[in-house]
Structure 1
Amino acid sequence: MSNLPGPPGLPHTPYRITNNGPLTPNTHNFNTVFTTPGSSFPSYPASLSSTPILSTLIPPSLSSRRRKGKENDENVLPSGGPVSKKPRIKRSLSNFEKLHKFYAFLKHELEWSYGELLFRTSEDFAGYDTTSTLAQSSSSTNLYATREQMAAVMQHFFNGNGSYTTSLILSNWLKHPYGRLQRSSPEMFSVTIPYTSIKPVRAALTSFAAQVVQEKLVTEAEDAIKVSSGLHVSLSSHKTGAKKLEWTDIGSATVEKTKKIIREHQPLTWSLLMKLAARPPRSLNGAKVVCVKRPPELAVTNVISTLNFSRSSRAKLLPLATGILYFGSSASTDLFRYRSRIAEMPAYGSVIRAMQTLAEHEA
């Protein structure tokens, strides 16, 4: 133990140093009066008059509590530790930067071409092997999607629920400058070359559209010439299925009835021929001008009816009415022969049998 001088400005107070403790002063009762600076009144230090300085140790619980309080103070930097830095905000990539990463991943990681990527992601993967180690461990990592996730993504796209639909993608492909050289290709809008064998995008898309529409028109025509459609009329009572010809089938309502049947069974054919039969209405002094001399509806009805009669000689409701009109007008047999040749009306003999059937019905 040794003695050290006390605090400056105070009388000498010996401190004793112990082997296993902090500095603790000797307990004294200070009787020395000193003057407070700036004042002429004597005073005693209240903390030194009877209480020893640093006479007791701070309990460890209080000491640790005080340190924790300082460390938890948001306005005080923790002492003795590194200053924590705010995490950097990750900059979002632009679309072009994402494309850079995507094409690099496609080439170096997947080792796929762009065409193979589109083909693989558009085919049905129901037959893929799902028992592989990769497929089984895909649920435990974000690098690989599960089968359910893949199915959900494809279903979302094919149902048109996303913002980037098939129509927008096909529109980009059809207008893309890389396919501009194919505009004059003989494969454009081809109905003779299978579209699956056409490689350029523009030619393949246009040929695909033409061939799909062609198949749809044929399907509609086959549906329209069925017995159940209403275009069939029978000239004999021995035939079953078709309605026997009556006077109510021939008259001013025949054209309207035929048009109704055609529009019901051949909507796409009707729409396309209506586009061909008339131009868009012109405006004259702010009013739309409609063609009344050659109404497009009558022309299209007659054309489609002729095509259906050419496809099936039994779908002859309107052509037979035309033949009866020619018969009543005493048209020459040469005119009957010509009109029958171009499928506008039945042959002269068929018209005669139709008149006999109507006569029997009248009797």
Structure 2
Amino acid sequence: MNEFDLHKTRYLNKDYLFFACLSILAVGIGVSAPLFLPDRFYNDAFILTVDLYNEIGWWGSYPLTIAFYKYTGLKFLPYALVGFLQLSILFYVLFKIGVPSGFRKLTAKNGVVWLSFLLLAIYVSMPSKEFINFLFVAAIPIIFLKKIKSNSTFILCCLLWFILFGSIYRLYYLMIPILSVLFYVVSRIRLKNKLVFTFFIGLFAAIFMSLSYGFISGSYLSEISRDRVNDERLFSTEASSKIEPPFEVDSWYGEAASITYGFFTVNFPVNGLRFLLKPQILAFVVWQLILILLLLWGYANCLRKQKQYPRMFWIFHFTMAYFIIQGVFEPDLGSAVKHKMGFLPLIYIALYYDYFRKNIPV
């Protein structure tokens, strides 16, 4: 080993050590979460473990998650122990994905990821659908990205994986392959500003799918997701950061406005700055704004270098498709951040795309 390699190894080891320390801190926060989190944070955990309405089954996010916690025995454990086990697994998974060089340095990108670790500790410190969601998404970087040598096989496996997960767990994940393929087609067109046009087409496609669904079923997608949730907790404290579109979603233009408003509110939550007296919401807003700006910069770079970053190109397609879909169903800013934790493995890869692309077997 020459002097350069030795220096590089020491440099990376410091990053590994920082990753380990941050993970231990996050697990510690998760274990102690029952001591300081308000009861409303445990509403979903209560549903998943008690199963008051006998929803257990093998299709759909709630039935499957209830079955998972029952048959693994996790529902019988204290929340602190559940948080310890779940978070230990998730941080090990992230470690297996990889620790970027320079991870210990204070930068905007690293800061966003460090805060993501702490957010993960809060939202997965109890029985949660995001635990299963995280593991599913993590299969893409751990198995498909690193083990499959063919680019076309990698893309096909990812698309089928989203279709499978969307079919049995979260239906809206079926929109990710559709939007991702659409993004790829748009990227092949010679345009001056592909980034803006890609998002415009993505929003248009999401609106079209919702209107088509509404034509068939009688209810639009945001109506059966965001509106239904917000109506159920109209006078609840959970509704403080709820997303309220400017029009009712009982018409095609109301649904189009709802999805567009939802997309910008979730991903560019400038209007969330009004929560000056609620520092936790304000922190989420700042985190989201920095995150989306970093991802847009990386996505724009990948659009310019499609041949150099073929797989990272698709990682960004999947991530941006998910961000657009959040504009359809997210009921509030807190839920938007929570659901992003379930998608964190791909967000993590996308943020450090320039590092991870070097370790792909192509």
The TM tier, using the shorter chain, reads under 0.3
Q: Which has the larger radius of gyration?
A: 1
Q: Higher relative contact order at CA 8 Å, sep ≥6: structure 1 or structure 2?
A: 2
* TM-score normalised by structure 1 residue count: 0.21
**Higher-strand-fraction structure:** 1
**Higher-helix-fraction structure:** 2
